[in-house]
Structure 1
Amino acid sequence: MRARAGRLVAAAAAMAVGFGGAGVAGVGAGTAVAAQAGPAAVKPLPPELEKIRAAEAVKLYGDAAERPVGQRKTSLISLGDSEIAGEGVGTYEPGTNGPDNWCHRSPEAAIHRTGIPAEVTYNVACSGAATANINIGGTKQYADELVQSDNLAIKARNTRLKMVLLVAGANDDLQFGPVMTDCVTRWFTLQGTCEPKYAPGWQGRVDALVPKVERSVRDLRTVMRDAGYADGDYKLVVMGYPSPIGPDIEDNPNFPGKLPGGCTGYTSDSAWGRNAAVPAFEKGMRKVAADTGATYLDNSRLFHGHEVCMEDTWARGLYVDITNPFPPDSNSVRQSFHPNARGHGAFASCLTQLYASDRREASCTDPASTGQPKLYPLAWDDVYRPVKNAGTGNCVDAKGASSSNGTAVIGWDCNGQRNQDWWYDAERRSVHAGLTQDRCLDVPGAKYEAGAGLVLWNCSGAANQQFVKDAASGSVRPAAAPGLCLTLGSAKDAVRLQKCDGSAAQRFA
């Protein structure tokens, strides 16, 4: 199968990559109402939805009655698009793997795998969904699918929802799937990189989709109020998207090559996706949550170090299913560049930690390549900052805007670019590079000696990646060699270890 699939890869690159989906007219749950803080009387469902609710109640409880809240089973629900539906996992619920429905809902999707106590979990997300398939009065994607807000209205009346999760926006103005398809196609056909084509208008796309996702969030809140819930009765979470690709693939000691590994595309395009396209999208989703009062989970750095073609990848690369449909068409490659089962396990871990916290905003990442995501009670945009040397006035810089292992750390004119952003993890005493959470400041070979130049290396939590900051003096010292200080001797020199002397060259802020 792999050999046959390989012969189809070039043709497959020109097909749509997994986010597309046709919309069909559907039944709406009603019109949006003005925001309100407390619960209202439960509004009756339209007859066609009430019939579905009653049938689902029989399966849950043995009869069709709508139960008081205290007598209902507890539940969780995910809504949105392929990112949370389970596209890319490879195992799908019956009826969602074609030929007439390509929602690709997986039994291994994150909502089914959290540690949040719940008796029932629902995944009504669908690959290809746009906000128009989610909103009140929206359109169906497939004849046998409900508008997602209608599905929420039914589940909210039959169970006691504890968390409503929304992951949406990639299929609106962003058109992430077609963009990804074009970038891959350009690599196969040697047309050149896609960044020049998309970068100039990318922020405009993000700006255009933000109000659409905001409407979706407000509509979901309205659906819950119409079902008798107060806003504080459940947690409404907007989850951001991780980047499935990155430029550091050759750091993988078992790098299989781009074609066998499925990381087909120009490396510089992968860098643009990770360093610019996904961060812009993340900022838009953060704004959505802030403007609507939803809880926000920033996953933009979650897959750093786990991208396609990296070790322990959490995403599926270019993949051709030659058996479904046959002959292959655009649906044959729709699983490409989506979270795999391990990726959904990471989502589930982050969601579990978020639910247990009281945070309205948090970020999740794997801080030391352990495979164990950790929730941070902060927003990455707020903590990554340039670091300036007092002696030269220059900023600490990842040379050449690279994040590969061994990249020199130098001084350079401050320019506001991402390769001059840094974050100090006080708990682990590690200094993370702004380009990727998976690269840390490192003393090469743990050789603590004067003149040693600092580099970036895959974060491991090892002693040679642990540093101590002294707020009073502005010095930064290796935890294992406190008599040495990070030093920038001249404007564009390497950042080196030197004996601590209290000079301006050893002060950073």
Structure 2
Amino acid sequence: MTRRPTLRCTLAAVAAFAAALGGVAATGPTAQADPRTTASTPLAPELEKVRAAEATKLYGSAAERPMAERKTSLLSLGDSEISGEGVGTYEPGTNGPDNWCHRSPDAAIHRTGIPADVTYNVACSGAYTGNIRIGGSKQYADELVQSDNLAVKARNTRVKMVLLVAGANDDLQFGPVITDCVTRYLTLQGPCEPKYAPGWQARVDALVPKVEQTVRDLRTVMKDAGYADGDYKLVVMGYPSPIGPDIEDNPDFPGKLPGGCVGHTSDSAWGRNTAVPAFERGMRRVARNTGALYLDNSRLFHGHEVCMEDTWARGLYVDLANPFPPNANSVRQSFHPNARGHGAFASCLTQLYRSGHREAGCADPASTGTPALYPGGWDDAYRPLKNAATGACVDAYGAASANGTQVGGWPCGGSRNQEWWYDAGQKSLHSALTHDRCVDVPSAKYTAGTAVVLWNCHGGGNQQFVRSAESIRPVAAQDLCLTLGSAEDALRLQKCDGAANQRFA
């Protein structure tokens, strides 16, 4: 069971964050009914010993079996985001004192609905691309380079899916950045956004080629094991933001320190609105440039961030018992997906595998706790809504997304708070700032002049609209249309009359 964050921490323990936050931290489908039978390239002697030992456990024999006679498998590689760091339950030998990979039996790869005989999690908290690539370095003495681990398992089983989650520990250095932001908050310093925002895109641009080469190395490993590219699915998955600025909308908000969501609220907004989306776009480039499948989960935790009602991530956490006395490893579980977060990953991966999509985005559209998959990346879904009469764009005022934020017209500027997505299935209109905020008719007051606002998406009737031509009408009152009276007026309900100020494109 995941324990509630322990907050009797010292600033020294928080300062140790920089060396600790492993992973985010410092350091249907094709049926495969006719699998390839190409002979594999022989492994190096030391790896062959590992392969033979694993084969004996699987089959009672050390022989490398024909592809059609093998057990099927799924396999995840990468860093703490997918290893299970933050879940709180870990496989023996990965919870210190000499190995801190923090692989969890509750990690996503073990919980999908994809049929497979065995599942392997070879990801390791703190890994960077150099721990995954061909010829890379081991993280710990008892660990294989992750590509070598794949090479072994690809010869002993028939791999159906390879999942890669990596990059945050290369140039991006997510962990030290989060550490600095938390430390600045606790030591009464200013926000960290001004320090990191100017160079953030350059960091993303620098890490993309490294992850691309990692994907190509994994393809090479699979080819050497006798696979063609079409024999398995290779998925690149990004990171959801574990934090957000709307924590006080939670009716049970515990406070930043008790809830573990410490940090300046403006930094949380920058992380959600800018830092994570930039990384996600980088991972999409990786997938496109290498032919991998792409799972955009940048919005998956929206509404489920630390300190929200149903959090899918663990906040600031200090384990005072392991190790003892506490050191940098005591805080490494902080700001990582919890067991519910890995359940969400597993659901999204299952849907992607079955969908046939090469790119797809996953999110919880109505705060139900059930992720849904949509074709394409989220950047393709969200678009401005430009009013035909005024030329103004629909805007979430102040770039805010808290419950009750006013929605109205403003000169078009291309900012995220002027982008919107209409979910035809849910009939909801979402703000690009967060998938968890929808255009809402307050108290279901369907009268002319009512101004709409943003509110936590819940799927209720007062958040359902139909798009007819270029008009937007409440499902419950289709004689009313969203109307922009002037370029900087609030967006209001008015009787539909076909006027240009009721048309949005």
Give the TM bin, normalised by the shorter chain.
Answer: over 0.9
Map of 1:343-492 to 2, 5 A cutoff? 343-471=341-469, 474-492=470-488
Give per-residue Cα distances to partners, 1:256-304, cap 9 Å, x unaligned.
0000000000000000000000000000000000000000000000000
Per the alignment, in what secondary structure is the counterpart of residue 400 of structure 1?
helix
Query: Given the two structures, how large is their TM-score scaled by the length of structure 1?
Result: 0.95
Question: What is the CA–CA distance in structure 1 between the aligned matches of 2:174 and 2:158, rounded to whole Å?
Answer: 34
Opposite residue 375 of structure 1, the aligned amino acid is L
Q: Which residue of 2 aligns with 1:13?
A: 14
Q: In 2, Cα distance between the equivalents of 1:9 and 1:302?
A: 32
TM-score (norm 2): 0.96
Alignment of 1:73-472 (within 5 A): 73-471=71-469
SS in 2 for 1:48: helix
Shift of 1:13: 2.1
CA distance in 2 between counterparts of 1:166 and 1:3 reads 29
Structure 1 Cα separation of the partners of residues 355 and 365 of structure 2: 19
Superposition deviation, residue 4 in structure 1: 10
One-letter code aligned to 1:82: S
**Deviations 1:346-405 (Å, cap 9, x if unpaired)?**
000000111111111111000000000001112111110111111111100001000000
Local SS of the residue matching 1:163:
strand
Shift of 1:306: 0.1
Residue 62 of structure 2 corresponds to residue 64 of structure 1: yes
1:53 corresponds to which residue?
51
Aligned length: 493
Kept in 2: contact 1:425–1:431 (CA 8 A): yes
Distance 1:312 1:170 in 2: 25
Q: Quote the sequence identity (%).
A: 78
Asked whether the equivalents of residues 19 and 177 of structure 1 are also in contact (C-alpha less than 8 Å), the reply is yes
Q: 1:220 to 1:461 in 2, by over 3 A?
A: same
**Separation in 1, partners of 2:495, 2:150:** 63
Structure 1's consecutive aligned runs of 4 or more residues displaced over 6 angstroms after TM superposition are 20-23
Amino acid at match of 1:18: L
- RMSD between superposed Cα atoms in Å: 1.5
Query: Which range moved further: 203-212 or 370-379?
Result: 370-379
Once residues 179 and 433 of structure 1 are traced to their aligned partners in structure 2, the CA distance between those partners, rounded to angstroms, is: 27
Secondary structure of the corresponding residue to residue 438 of structure 1:
strand
**Among candidates 479, 498, 504, match of residue 502 of structure 1:** 498
Q: Distance in 2 between matches of 1:236 and 1:141?
A: 23
Structure 2 CA distance for aligned equivalents of residues 22 and 439 of structure 1 = 32
Q: Measure how far apart 1:18 and its partner are.
A: 1.6
Partners of 2:106 and 2:339 within 8 A in 1: yes
Q: Distance in 1 between matches of 2:409 and 2:390?
A: 8
Deviation at 1:22, TM superposition (A): 9.1
Residue 435 of structure 2 aligns to a residue whose secondary structure is coil
| Counterpart Cα distance in 1 of 2:5 and 2:312 | 25
* 3-state SS of paired residue (2:7): helix
> C-alpha displacement at 1:42, in angstroms?
1.2
Which whole-Å CA distance do the structure 2 matches of 1:22 and 1:360 have between them? 31
From the superposition, tell whether residues 4 and 352 of structure 1 become closer, same or farther in structure 2 (CA, over 3 Å).
Answer: closer
Cα displacement string for residues 5-57 of structure 1 (whole angstroms, at most 9, x for unaligned residues): 4221543321224226899xxxxxxxxxxxxxx98641000000000000001
Task: Answer yes or no: is the 8 Å Cα contact 1:18–1:87 preserved in 2.
Answer: no
Which segment drifts farther, 401-410 or 38-47?
38-47
**Post-superposition CA distance 1:433-482 (Å, at most 9, x none):** 010000000000000001100000010110100111112xx111101001
Mark the runs of 5 or more structure 1 residues left unpaired by the alignment: 24-37
Structure 2, gaps ≥5 residues long: 28-35
